[in-house]
Amino acid sequence: MKATPTDVTKERLSEEFNSVVAETEQLLKSVATAGSDKAGALRADIERTLAAAGDRIAKMREDAMLQAGTAVKATDAYVKENPWRAVGIVAAVTALTGLLAGLLIARR
């Protein structure tokens, strides 16, 4: 099965978050074992790492918003070109959802 752009973005975001957490844990362990003179340098390193991670996450969010905007524009254009087909698709999805809900209710 092919991964959707949303799945890829979620995966990248999750990997980035895990990377930030791992780096922060490592730096905090280093601060705990370092003397007070090294603590200031390590604190600055932690702040730089967190700022860089924040920038990467903001960039990923911006990319996701751009992809969402593109999908919205494509959907809008499709609906404008094929209004009755779009109404039919919505009706079919609604009917299927109602059927499934009725089956689940009847099961109880």
**pLDDT tens by residue, 72-103:** 999 899 889 988 998 999 999 999 999 999 99
**Is residue 43 within 8 Å of residue 28, measured between CB atoms?**
no
Residue 10 domain boundaries:
5-77
Is the residue at 106 inside a domain?
no
Assigned domain for 40 exists: yes
User: Which of these, 60, 70, 49, 54, lies nearest to 10 by C-alpha position?
Assistant: 60
pTM above 0.85? no
Residue 99 in domain: no
pLDDT digits (tens, 9 = 90+) for 1-57: 455 666 666 777 777 777 877 777 777 777 666 666 677 777 777 778 777 877 888
Split into its structural domains, the chain has a count of 1
Q: Looking at residue 60, what is its pLDDT? A: 82
pLDDT at 99: 93
The whole-number pLDDT of residue 98 equals 94
